[in-house]
Structure 1
Amino acid sequence: MMRKTLIIALGTGLAVTPVAARERQITPYIEVAQVLTADLTNDDVLTYTTLAAGIDANVQTRRVQVQASYRYERRIGYDDRLADADIHSGLARAAVRVAAPLTIEGGALATRTRSDIRGAAPGVLQGNVANISQLYAIYAGPTFGSHIGPVGVSGGYRFGYTKVQAPSIVSPITGERRDVFDDSRSQQAQASLNLKSGTVLPVGITLSGAWVRDDASQLAQVYEGKYGRLDVLYPVLPTLALTAGVGYENIEISRRDALFDAAGQAVVNAQGRFQIDPNGQRRIDYNFDGLYYDAGVVWRPNQRTQLEVHAGERYGSFSAVGSFTYQASKTVAVRVSGYDGIQTFGRQLQTSLTEIPTAFNPGTNQLGQNFNGCVFGAQGGAAGNCLNSALQSVSTSAFRSRGVDAVISVTRGRTNFGLGAGYANRRYLASNAGPGIIIEGLEDESYYLQGYINHQLDTRTSIDANVFANYFLSGFGPQVGVYNIGATTTLNRRFGRFNAFGSVGIYNFGQDQQRSITSIQALLGGRYSF
């Protein structure tokens, strides 16, 4: 199972770049818009102005594949009820082939997300939204692949950094903070040897190993894992093979003691982050040292379709993972992925970012739902990936992450659309060190659905629509389910370098057995591209 996870993390997301699709385009812009938001439940209306500057870049050649979309926005309110805010949103993915066996990959993300699972949807810009944090993530590293005779040799290294600003408003449900994530540094190195079936032996053999480490500043938490694995692949048909593997792994997660005052309350700084007890000790939150195993099937009926499923025992219990990819044509791509692993927030986000293709649809939604949910692939490339499993909430504590994601991306003439859905479960792995620290065994769950469609009415006019629905259930504190649904539409009209646009959205946010809040939002603005 580890072998598949590591290969996916370091080697996927590259877009197909045929000769006809090579392009270079870099477009900086400035933008101004007026926004009106109305809380229909409480009869409250707010207006504010947004000033923005950004850049869209796309370079797709044989050796260089880069796409980046970044936007800085200043939100200016008209009274004390709405705080001014700076919002950064952007996504970048790159792969540069330095030489035939060596590629440098990287990615970056800036978005707003929940500081914990109990808040409203982070994409809604209305009002002073509680539990929302600004997040930044970046990673880069080399990958290589070559052959020594009949043996394939591959490997790679990745360094990543994740930073989350503390939320200014705490949860509307309990009024208290969870462990407020600060930043982390992640490293991952892996190497493998592969002998294809039918070359020397009738079976294929893969030997792989890896080392991973994640250092989080909150309570000096350290995640360190060492892995080794042997896989055997036995073809039973030209398109079907059986596979089995056994691995050894050593995972240890530890942290320093938190500082408590005389009343037994955790001591926190101005951002709500726990302070380290100078007289405390380092405690082990999770330790696994032993073997694991699984078996499964690999089905490849053609070059465009692949299904791989594995099931066995890992972390002392049943575990199953799998993936399905289908590239029906240059205009249709499907991806389904099931996962199971011991994770930290920084590691999971970095892995999710690597699985976004280097050619993606940046979206045209002006109401703020970009890059905090599903990201869909561009025409001729991979289907895309959903970031929801990582961004469902921010937590310093490590957890076992299990779930499934499904994404489809389609282009038909002047129309392109995408659909993403998934389920994510986190079971936390932290010892009970006092009030305010997540307790081992508690679970968070989330279900999510997102769709979009864009249609080019003519050479200068386009219209799009976006919908989303989420349901979150937190095991921390009261068992309260939080749901939010919404829909937006935007009309764009281009006049040379100037683009005029108007958007409208409707949202509903609520909690189980509580009164929900319905709001609408309208936006009118213009963009000048250089």
Structure 2
Amino acid sequence: MKPVHVLSCLAGVLGAALLAPSGGAAQTIGYDATAAGGGASAEGDAVSDKASRRSGNGKKGGRRLEVTPYIEVDQVVTAELSPGNDVLTWTQLSVGADASISGRNNALSASVRYQKQIGWGKARDGDIISGVARGYTTLLPGLTLEAGALATQSRVGNDGSALSGGLVPGSSRTNIYSLYGGPSYQTRAGDIDLKANYLLGYTQVEQPNAYVVAPGSDAADIFDHSVSQMANVEAGVKPHVVAPVGLGVGGSFYQEDVSNLDQRVRDLQGRAMVTVPVSRTVQVVGALGYEDVEVSSRDVQRDAAGNPVIGSNGRYKTDKSAPRELAYDVSGLLWDAAVMWRPSPRTSLSAHFGRRYGGTAYGGTLAWAPNDRSSLSLAVYNNLSAFGGQLNRTLDSLPDDFTVVTDPVTGDLRGCVSSIDGSNCLSGALGSVRSAVFRSRGFAASYATRIGRLDAGIGLGYDRRSYIAREDSILAAANGVVDENWWLSAYLSGRLGREAGWSTSVYANLLSSNDPLTGDSMGYGASLSYYRMLARRLRATLAVSIDGSSRDDALIDDYWTASALAGLRYSF
């Protein structure tokens, strides 16, 4: 995917929310749909946190529209501290836009940036695309369109770990792109509430030369691209309409098609739900249904000697003529019991426990906003997907109103966004880019606050991925592998009067695996920047950052870079 195509996709997401007409409802996703969410199976019987937040924004009646395109010229110096000692210099030309819309029927937050790096001396030229866009718009009463996109970069190792790696452009850095979009519809037919939604997503890890130890040896299991689809349909009546309890039925569909060996995840389920109101603020929901979950793939293409064929991009070539074979097949009864507590518009809690994927499953969410200047979010999740679907789900769980937290030198995402509205971190989805399908379990927590002129936030979490592949396939080594990702991201920023300000951020990732061929990996970094307005639209910036990574492998040295930037930005 070329940089101009990615920029067009991000701009399209931004433009859709800006130009579409006004009108009504919010998108919801069903059972354990978000990587950072994982709501109850009877979610259709309760208003989702995302929908209620949007409703709250609408009731305020205010409309805010801010779109700030800009151009920027920077001089950047990067020193490789380990394993080498190169000092490289670039002139960096950037164009980008920050946008924010908040209204009764439309919302958007977006930050999109393209950087052209012109190297001095032996420094190579490069291009960097970075940004996040997330929003929705109401097309007609009851019909809502939602979309989002992400572009960032990482250093990907042969163990599939994806860690931030500083500024140095070239083959050592891997581009990651993801976008999704789709409609939702909500209406009533007499006493019956009807809901339906559909999301289509695409994710690509653009690494033209995936890791190969030696010609003819096995390729690293690095994700290439996938297309994911999610759909939900629900119908039900509230308590005390036709009975003392609420009644409902629903169905959901999830499918992700991964380019590597034509892997496919397909998850179908149907369920009936009963909602029991316990009090004004508490309700209990029970669900009983049937699920059919499959993971399948095709064999690798082989040469005349029977050796697997590796393509020019370093991934295995798929034998399209080979039949699709199952690696995971679970079908049967599913059940779920959930408790939902909403004592006020500022506090909501849901927790569920039941049977999915042929075994025990549990999850829940907590959202607490003690005032207008702070919020706490916690989510426990459990789902089945590949890297692309997990990233799409996490992107969808971002709030509608946020400010992107980036490295001031590289423009890379720092793991979280700044927001006082809901879950706001992406780090849990970015830790590993193995191509194999996985069962993901974990939690994500974030806290954000505003104190006077200070904005602060911290996010932390844990993501455990159990990989699934056929024992007789080329990916057999991945079957049963467990990757664990502990992550932390924090930011702090403030204003110095009306013309100046500063910001700082830190992040850390610890990835461990039971794969005997790989070891633990760690990534960490920090940044600090200062800006001052020289004129009404002209801003000067000074920034420094440091990034490092280490691997539990005596043959791989620790990697450290330090960078400094001085630049001017003109905003239109």
Normalising by structure 1, we get a TM-score of: 0.91
- Pair 491,177 (structure 1): closer, same or farther in 2 beyond 3 Å: farther
| CA deviation after TM superposition for structure 1 residue 96, in Å | 0.7
Are 1:500 and 2:540 an aligned pair? yes
Cα shift at 1:481: 0.7
- With over 3 angstroms needed to count, the CA separation of the structure-2 counterparts of 1:169 and 1:291, relative to structure 1, is closer
In the alignment, which residue of structure 1 is the partner of 2:529? 490
For residue 21 of structure 1, report the CA deviation from its aligned partner. 4.8
| Structure 2 CA distance for aligned equivalents of residues 140 and 275 of structure 1 | 29
Q: Which amino acid aligns with 2:551?
A: Q
Cα separation, 2, equivalents of 1:359 and 1:183: 28
Task: Pick which of 293-302 and 248-257 moved more.
Answer: 293-302
Q: Whole-Å Cα distance in 2 between the matches of residues 113 and 139 of structure 1?
A: 21
Counterparts of 2:461 and 2:514 in 1: how far apart (Å)? 19
Structure 1 position 70, deviation (Å): 0.6
Partner of 1:213, secondary structure, is: strand
- Mean alpha-carbon deviation: is it higher for 175-184 or for 473-482? 175-184
Structure 1 counterpart of 2:498: 459
CA contact (8 A) 1:258 1:433 kept: no
Pairing partner for 2:348 from 284, 289, 306: 306
Contact 1:123 1:369 in 2 (8 A): no
Whole-Å separation in 2 of the counterparts to 1:171 and 1:336: 39
CA separation in 1, counterparts of 2:210 and 2:474?
20
| CA RMSD, 1 decimal | 2.7
Matched with 1:162 is 203
SS in 1 for 2:278: strand
Distance 1:205 1:115, change over 3 A: farther
Task: Provide the secondary structure at the position in 1 that maps to 2:78.
Answer: strand
Q: Deviations over 1:168-199 (max 9, x none)?
A: 47399xx9742333322222221112322233
Does residue 412 in structure 1 map to residue 454 in structure 2? no
- In the alignment, the residues of structure 2 paired with residue 214 and residue 119 of structure 1 have an alpha-carbon distance, to the nearest angstrom, of 21
The match for 2:15 is none
Q: How does 1:112-511 map to 2 (within 5 A)?
A: 112-113=153-154, 115=156, 118-119=160-161, 121-122=163-164, 124-126=166-168, 130=172, 132-166=173-207, 168=209, 170=211, 177-261=219-303, 265-363=307-405, 365-368=407-410, 370-371=412-413, 373-377=415-419, 379=420, 382-435=421-474, 438-495=477-534, 496-511=536-551
- Return the alpha-carbon distance in structure 2 between the equivalents of residues 332 and 408 of structure 1: 7
Worse-superposed segment, 413-422 or 309-318: 309-318
Partner residue in 1 for 2:32: 5
- Decide whether aligned partners of structure 1 residues 520 and 169 sit closer, same or farther in structure 2, where only a CA change above 3 A counts: farther
| Equivalent residues of 1:114, 1:394 under 8 A apart | no
1:348-369 Cα shifts (integer Å, max 9, x gaps) = 1111111112211123641336
CA contact (8 A) 1:178 1:437 kept: no
- Structure 1: gaps spanning 5 or more residues: none
1:89 aligns with one of 130, 133, 136: 130
Say which SS state the counterpart of residue 349 (structure 1) adopts. Answer: helix
Distance 2:97 2:404 in 1: 11
Distance 1:123 1:103, change over 3 A: farther
Cα drift, residue 37 of structure 1: 2.2
1:448 CA displacement: 0.2
Q: 1:58 aligns with which of 87, 100, 103?
A: 100
Change (3 A) 1:434 1:4: closer
Distance 2:414 2:272 in 1: 37
Question: How many angstroms apart in 1 are the aligned matches of 2:239 and 2:422?
Answer: 29
* 2: CA distance, partners of 1:320 / 1:198: 29
Q: How is 1:32-51 mapped onto 2 (pairs within 5 angstroms)?
A: 32-42=73-83, 44-49=85-90, 50-51=92-93
User: Which amino acid is 2:431 matched to?
Assistant: Q
1:442-478 Cα offsets, whole Å, 9 max, x none, are 1111000000011011111110110111100134443
Q: Which amino acid aligns with 1:150?
A: D
SS in structure 2 opposite 1:362?
A: strand
Q: 1:371 to 1:509 in 2, by over 3 A?
A: closer
- Contact between 1:428 and 1:438, CA under 8 Å: does it hold in 2? no
Asked whether the 8 Å contact 1:360–1:384 carries over to 2, the reply is no
Helix, strand or coil at the partner of 2:309: coil
Amino acid of the structure 1 residue aligned with 2:201: G
- In structure 1, what is the Cα distance between the partners aligned to 2:289 and 2:85? 58
Matches of 2:517 and 2:227, distance apart in 1: 32
Once the two structures are superposed, residues 78-105 of structure 1 have per-residue CA deviations (whole angstroms, 9 ceiling, x without a partner) of 344x443211111111211123311111
* 3-state SS, counterpart of residue 356 of structure 1: coil
Match of 2:8 in 1: none
Give 3-state SS (helix, strand or coil) of 1:368's partner: coil
SS, match of residue 163 in structure 2: coil
Whole-Å Cα distance in 2 between the matches of residues 519 and 278 of structure 1?
43
Q: 1:438 offset after TM fit, Å? A: 4.5
The unaligned stretches of length 5 or more in structure 2 are 1-28, 39-43
- Superposed CA offset, 1:269-293 (max 9, x none): 1111211225532211221111122
Rate the CA distance shift 1:180–1:118 in 2: closer, same or farther, 3 A: closer
Shift of 1:119: 4.6
Comparing 251-260 with 356-365, greater Cα deviation is found at 356-365
Q: Give 3-state SS (helix, strand or coil) of 1:389's partner.
A: helix
User: Does the 8 A contact of 1:120 with 1:509 survive in 2?
Assistant: no
Counterpart code for 1:355: S
Structure 1 residues 24 and 278: CA distance shift in structure 2, 3 A: closer
Superposed displacement of residue 77, structure 1:
2.8
Residue pair 1:34, 1:47 contacting (<8 A) in 2 also = no
The Cα shift of 1:388 comes to 2.0
CA distance in 2, matches of 1:240, 1:20: 29
Q: Distance in 1 between matches of 2:516 and 2:124?
A: 29
Measure the CA separation in 2 of the matches of 1:225 and 1:43.
48
Write the distance in 2 (CA, Å) between the matches of 1:125 and 1:21. 41
1:95-117 deviation digits (Å, cap 9, x = unpaired): 11123311111111111245455
Number of equivalences:
522
Q: Percent identity?
A: 32
1:43 CA drift (Å): 6.0
More deviation, 487-496/226-235:
226-235
In the alignment, the residues of structure 1 paired with residue 443 and residue 324 of structure 2 have an alpha-carbon distance, to the nearest angstrom, of 34
Evaluate the alpha carbon distance shift between residue 208 and residue 488 of structure 1 in structure 2; reply closer, same or farther with a 3 A threshold: same
CA separation of 1:280/1:311 partners in 2, compared to 1, >3 Å: closer, same or farther?
same
Contact 2:539/2:570 (<8 A) preserved: yes
Instruction: Please state whether the residue corresponding to 2:303 is helix, strand or coil.
Output: coil
